[in-house]
Amino acid sequence: MVPLFDLDDARAQDPGLVGAKAARLAQARQAGLPVLPGVVVPVAAARPALTSAAAALADGGSGAARLAVMDADVDNDVVSALQERTRHLGEPLVVRSSSPLETGGVWAGAFSSFEGVGPDDLRTAVRGVWASAFTVHALQRCEVAGTKPGDVELAVLLQPQVRPLCGGSARLLADGRVAVHATRGSLRDLMEGWEVGVRAHVSAEGRIEGDQEALDLGADALRGAGELARRTHEALGDSLIEWAWTGDDIVLLQSSQIDEPEVPAAVEHGDLSAAMALALARLAHRFPGPLGEELVLPWALALPHISPVLAAPVSTDPPADLARACMLARDLTKQAWQERSDHALRLAFGAFAAARGTQAGPALHTLAHLRPVDAVRGHQAVALIAGVAAALVARGTLNEERDIWRSTRQGVERLLAEPSPAPTGQWVRPGPDRWEPFIHAAVRVHGTTCHGVPVVPGASAGRVVVVRDPHHPPRIRARDVVVVQRPLPALASLLWTASAMVATAGNPAAHLIEVTASLGVPTVLGVDLGPVGGMAALEGGGQLAAVDGEAGVVTIVPA
DSSP 110-145: -S--EEEE-GGGHHHHHHHHHHGGGSHHHHHHHHHH
Do 449 and 536 lie in one domain? The reply is: yes
User: How many structural domains are present in the chain?
Assistant: 4
Would you say residue 431 lies in a domain?
Answer: no
Helices then strands, each counted (H, E), the chain: 19, 19
pLDDT recorded at residue 427: 55
Residue 30 located in a structural domain: yes
Q: Are 518 and 497 in contact (CB under 8 A)?
A: no
| 122 belongs to a structural domain | yes
Assign residue 110 the CATH number of its domain: 3.30.1490.20
106 secondary structure, DSSP code: G
For residues 413 and 502, state if they share a domain.
Answer: no
Q: Is residue 103 part of a domain?
A: yes
SS3 266: coil
Domain encompassing residue 237: 166-256
Its pTM stands at 0.88
Same domain, 187 and 251: yes
Q: Which residues of the chain register pLDDT less than 70? A: 309-311, 422-429
Q: Which residues are CB-contacts of 73 (< 8 A; sequence separation ≥ 6)?
A: none
500 neighbors 182 (Cβ within 8 angstroms): no
Cβ atoms within 10 A of the Cβ of 186, count?
17
pLDDT given at position 428: 62
In a domain, 83, yes or no: yes
Distances (CA, A) of 532 to 24, 269, 411, 413, 538: 44, 25, 40, 43, 8
Domain end call among 234, 256, 278: 256
Q: Give 318's contacts (C-beta < 8 A, 6+ positions apart).
A: 387, 388, 391, 392, 416
Q: Judge if 154 and 180 occupy the same domain.
A: no
Domain boundary among 372, 390, 417: 417
Residues 395, 361 share a domain: yes
Given this model, what pLDDT does residue 26 score? 98
Other Cβ atoms less than 10 A from the Cβ of 3: the count is 14
CATH code of the domain covering residue 215: 3.30.470.20
Residue 276 domain flag = no
Dist CA 408 CA 405 (whole Å): 8
The answer as to whether 277 is a domain residue is: no
Asked whether residue 109 is domain-assigned, the answer is yes
In Å, what is the CA distance from 288 to each residue of 268, 296, 353?
21, 10, 14
Q: Which amino acid is at 509?
A: A
Q: Are 449 and 468 in contact (CB under 8 A)?
A: no
Say what the pLDDT of residue 423 is: 61
Q: Treating both helix axes as pointing N-terminal to C-terminal, what angle do 275-286 and 436-446 enclose, rounded to 10 degrees?
A: 140
| End position of a domain, from candidates 144, 160, 176 | 160
